[in-house]
Amino acid sequence: MHLQYPFIFPALETPRLWLRQLLITDAGRVAALRSDEQVNKYLGRPAHTSIEEARGFIEMINKGLEEKGWFYWAIAVKPAAALVGTICLWNLEPEKMEVEIGFELVPAYQGKGIMQETIECILRYGFETLKLEKINSFTEKENIASVKVLERNHFKEDETLKAAESESLIGYSLNSTTYYAARG
Name the residue nearer to other proteins (CB basis): 34 or 134.
Answer: 34
CA distances from 124 to 86, 116, 119, 180, 182 (A): 17, 12, 8, 10, 12
The conformation of residue 56, written as its DSSP 8-state character, comes to: H
Euclidean distance between CA atoms 84 and 80, whole angstroms: 10
Distance, CA of 166 to CA of 62 (rounded, Å) = 28
Closest C-alpha to 129, from 19, 21, 5, 34: 5
Q: Is 7 in the site for other proteins (CB under 8 A)?
A: no
Q: How far is the CB of 73 from other proteins (least distance, A)?
A: 14
Q: What residues numbered 41-100 form the site for other proteins, per CB under 8 A?
A: 43-53, 56-57, 60-61, 63-64, 67-68, 70, 90-91, 93
Backbone angles phi, psi at 78, to 5 degrees: -60, 145
Q: Minimal distance in Å, beta carbon 109 to other proteins?
A: 16
Minimum Å distance from CB 172 to other proteins?
Answer: 15
**Number of residues near other proteins (by CB under 8 A):** 33
Contacts with other proteins by CB under 8 A lie at 28, 31-32, 34-37, 43-53, 56-57, 60-61, 63-64, 67-68, 70, 90-91, 93, 164-166
